[in-house]
Amino acid sequence: MSPTVSSPPRTIRIGSRKSQLALVQTYWVQEQLQKHFPSRTFEVHTMSTQGDKILDVALSKIGDKGLFTKELELGMIDRSVDLAVHSLKDLPTHLPEGLVLGCVTERENPADALVVHEKHRDKQLATLPPGTVIGTSSLRRLAQLRYHYPHLTFKDVRGNLNTRLAKLDAGEYDALILAVAGLQRLGMADRIHEIISAEISLHAVSQGALGIECRADDREVLELLKALEHSPTAQRCYAERAFLRELEGGCQVPIGVNTTLVGDTLTLVGLVASLDGQRLVKDSITGAATDAEKLGIELAHALRKEGAQEILNEIFAQIQR
């Protein structure tokens, strides 16, 4: 009787956007999985998303649900890939049926950064002169900065990080607002001129963290992903995502957050701002980290009572025009 030959473990296919930052993040995940499971094979498969293809229109004008994730999710549903690596801030809070957030990795600094043209090297955000042209594609950053610095001029900017920096260096903009985490991951931390404090700009929901999405019924992949899960980051991001989901705001709505975790106590600060920067509703909540999602929902309800819903209704009406 011939001995039983066991079949080799299946190859795990990782889906990724083609942008430089997305690939850096995806190859990092591949490397970590390979390190934990050296006998397994992990392949990277790339694809372009709608958000990558449309670069001449403001993000808020082309919709905000799944701009950078839909094609990757279709790949998981049709089983051409087994998991997808996202900047968690790009992942909608409502996922397609059959898909789940399988893992949240340890967070990089979630703050926003000021990057300036050489002529403004001697300035900080607070000392930039009236009329300074600031590039940002984020309504969240735009609304908060208009609130604090109404004398500055804001202009939409699209493209990958290198494209944006090239436009800045060519003089199309005087400064840019970018994510600290993205600059650090691409080895461009030296371009950070100032890290903007949370008092001025609350960051995007889940900014700085990676989210790995997979099929809900794929027990094998879910088990592998446990090796990369960072529980403190996950608790903070679950609170932030629940807050956003309850307010029904997409990534292109001026909703900002900040979370701190001390021991088992989580504090979530949340904000909703009008596009013109004239109105800003902000509050916080503190409780047990094990109740992260509940805290996010409760804070959303509190902000609604304080006027956030009226601001959101106006913004949705403006965007749909």
**What SS3 state is found at 133?**
strand
Instruction: Give the Cα separation of 170 and 159 in Å (integer).
Output: 15
Q: Are 249 and 233 in contact (CB under 8 A)?
A: no
DSSP state of 9: P
Q: Which residues pair with 195 in a beta bridge?
A: 113
DSSP state of 152: S
Instruction: Give the Cα separation of 264 and 287 in Å (integer).
Output: 8
- CA dihedral 209→225→34→71, nearest 10 degrees, is -70
Neighbouring residues of 312: CB distance < 8 A, sequence distance ≥ 6:
247, 248, 249, 253, 272
Instruction: Give the Cα separation of 106 and 236 in Å (integer).
Output: 11
Which of 187, 185, 162, 156 is CA-nearest to residue 61? 156
DSSP-derived pairing of the beta strands 42-47 and 12-17:
parallel
Active site residues: 90
Task: Annotate 82-96 with b (16+ C-beta within 10 A) or e (fewer).
Answer: bbbbbbbbbbbbeee
Instruction: Give the Cα separation of 184 and 19 in Å (integer).
Output: 15
Helix boundaries (H) for 153-288: 161-169, 180-185, 219-225, 231-247
Q: Which residues pair with 203 in a beta bridge?
A: 257
Which of 277, 298, 268, 116 is CA-nearest to residue 198? 268
